[in-house]
């Protein structure tokens, strides 16, 4: 059965935006990880849409052909506000399912914090936002103090361990290189946002508001420190976590598993909302 898949490059209000729409049904929004684009996640998006959802997947500002944000707005809050402008431009006026991976998870947290009435349920997949890392001594330190070589080693390890199909590997390489060549300064600035994101206050507020939040974590993730994940979970009030095998980019390399996980997580969050099975 064809889910229906459309990809757009548009100029809305004088600004370029690239996005895809996959499937039909109640709306969902998927926000991609740092350095990648919506295209990298084609397989995962199709599995998410198979849950009976109409999935919107934009390239975030500064990536994949979407114009970068002005320098003064190049922060997590600025990205969150861009997300809401994107939803306005698409005419989405009903509560939706919001899914974010990695840096996209951080943007999703802030977007839900700013406009909770717009979000039906939130799913965080290996998300940034916990704000800490554990040094060799075992002490928790602010994530901004994690050395760059630590991030680089984790990223290299993850790229090797993910083992995506050749088509997905080509998409990752193409997206990463294209983004770096197109907007090198913006990409560096955005990388700092991903590396220093501390959204524990926003997570605590979302928990107190009672927003249904699902947390997915892969046991082999070294890119997001385990201590950061634990702090993210604690800020949410220690909700159930759906653990999966694999590393940080597991959903790119194994979209079928992502589909199965989403079926479970979405059903757990809102069992009264139909999920394709």
The full set of domains in the chain, from first to last, is 5-269 (3.40.50.1820)
Above 80 in pLDDT, residue 187? no
Residue scoring higher pLDDT (227 or 186): 227
Residue scoring higher pLDDT (274 or 92): 92
85-105 residue pLDDT tens: 999 999 999 999 999 999 999
Above 90 in pLDDT, residue 240? yes
Residue whose C-alpha is closest to residue 41's, from 62, 56, 26:
56
Above 80 in pLDDT, residue 179? no
The confidence score (pLDDT) of residue 248 equals 86
The confidence score (pLDDT) of residue 147 equals 47
């Amino acid at each position: 059965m064809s889910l229906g898949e459309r990809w757009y490059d548009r100029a809305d209000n004088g600004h370029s935006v690239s996005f895809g729409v996959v499937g039909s049904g109640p709306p969902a929004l998927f926000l991609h990880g740092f350095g990648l684009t919506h295209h990298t996640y084609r397989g995962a998006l199709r599995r998410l849409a198979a849950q009976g959802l109409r999935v919107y997947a934009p390239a975030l500002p500064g990536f994949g052909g979407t114009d970068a944000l002005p320098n003064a707005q190049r922060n997590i809050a600025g990205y969150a506000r861009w997300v809401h402008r994107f939803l306005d431009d698409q005419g989405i006026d009903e509560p939706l399912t919001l899914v974010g991976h990695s840096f996209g998870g951080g943007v999703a947290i802030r977007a839900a914090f700013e406009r909770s009435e717009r979000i039906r349920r939130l799913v965080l997949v290996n998300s940034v936002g916990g704000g800490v890392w554990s040094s060799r001594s075992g002490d928790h330190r602010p994530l901004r103090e994690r050395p760059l070589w630590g991030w680089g080693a984790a990223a290299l390890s993850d790229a090797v361990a993910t083992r995506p199909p050749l088509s997905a590997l080509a998409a990752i390489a193409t997206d990463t290189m294209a983004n770096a060549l197109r907007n090198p300064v913006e990409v560096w600035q955005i990388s700092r946002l991903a590396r220093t994101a501390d959204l524990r206050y926003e997570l605590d507020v979302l928990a107190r508001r009672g927003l249904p939040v699902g947390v997915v974590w892969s046991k082999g993730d070294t890119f997001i420190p385990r201590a950061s994940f634990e702090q993210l979970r604690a800020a949410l009030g220690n909700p159930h976590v759906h653990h999966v095998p694999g590393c940080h980019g597991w959903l790119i390399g194994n979209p079928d598993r992502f589909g199965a996980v989403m079926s479970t997580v979405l059903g757990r969050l809102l069992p009264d909302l139909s999920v394709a099975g």
